[in-house]
Amino acid sequence: GAVVSQHPSWVICKSGTSVKIECRSLDFQATTMFWYRQFPKQSLMLMATSNEGSKATYEQGVEKDKFLINHASLTLSTLTVTSAHPEDSSFYICSVLAGKNIQYFGAGTRLSVL
Amino acid sequence: DAKTTQPPSMDCAEGRAANLPCNHSTISGNEYVYWYRQIHSQGPQYIIHGLKNNETNEMASLIITEDRKSSTLILPHATLRDTAVYYCIVMGGGADGLTFGKGTHLIIQP
């Protein structure tokens, strides 16, 4: 399967600052990537679908101006949490859509906003 | 995508086969059954998927009933590292994001 690298694995930031999370597909040309978040003791929730070279598609209730997604190449998608607040503290996970509609996931980024 | 129902938790002894059930009675003809698992504080991991035939790979076997309304994921020789939350997800052929339910928390006992 595809190997997905996510960076950083853990980040702490002050309220009001922006944080960028990178998701790299190391061995697969990924036209489509996904971003999920997971709050403690809950399941993963899809945030957005990221398509290379076009605007991301956001799920209902996810603010596109707050969670900026850029998918400028077939191997890199980034998620920027702008003006982060404590309620944005969560586990953010990306995935790559490979053949047979299988998704391969990164290890996740744990964001803590103070 | 069809809804799935899984038991919230299961225990299994190390070395024994772990059988995880999933009900998907509203599955439609073009929808596949996918299984993923998430080990604590890690990203999910793809396990196996199938349409109507039974499938086997190096990780697990997937048994789908003839009417496709339910399926069972089988881990043939469970180890402690198989302790995780297992998600059964039904979806069609589109490039859509996954809808994760609550899954089954499988605990492998030494």
pLDDT of residue A53: 86
* Spatial distance between the Cα atoms of A102 and B50, rounded to a whole number of angstroms: 11
How far B16 CA sits from the closest chain A CA (Å)? Answer: 27
B3 is written with which tokens?
A: 């809804």
> Model confidence over B13-65: pLDDT tens digits?
999 999 999 999 999 989 999 999 999 989 999 999 999 989 999 999 999 99
B103 to chain A, any CB pair closer than 8 A? The answer is: yes
Q: Residue A104 to residues A19, A49, A96, A100: CA-CA distances in angstroms?
A: 23, 14, 5, 12
**Residues 6 or more apart in contact with residue B58 via CB below 8 angstroms:** none
Q: How confident is the model at residue A83 (pLDDT cuts 50, 70, 90)?
A: very high
Nearest to B45 among A59, A91, A105 (CB): A105
- Closest chain A CA to residue B40: A41
Residue range B75-96: mean pLDDT, rounded? 93
- Calculate how close chain A gets to B101, using CA atoms only, in Å: 7
- Predicted confidence (pLDDT) per residue in A56-73, tens digit: 999 999 999 999 999 989
Q: Could you give the CA distance from residue A33 to residue B96 in angstroms, rounded to a whole number?
A: 10
Distance from CA of B95 to the nearest CA of A (A): 6
- The mean predicted confidence, pLDDT, of chain A is 95
Instruction: State the virtual CA torsion across B51, B57, B62, B63 in degrees, nearest 10.
Output: 90
pLDDT reading at B1 higher than 80: no
Q: Report which residue type is found at A103.
A: Q
Distance in angstroms (rounded) separating the CA atoms of residues A45 and B44: 12
Query: Are B98 and A107 an interchain contact pair (Cβ–Cβ within 8 Å)?
Result: no
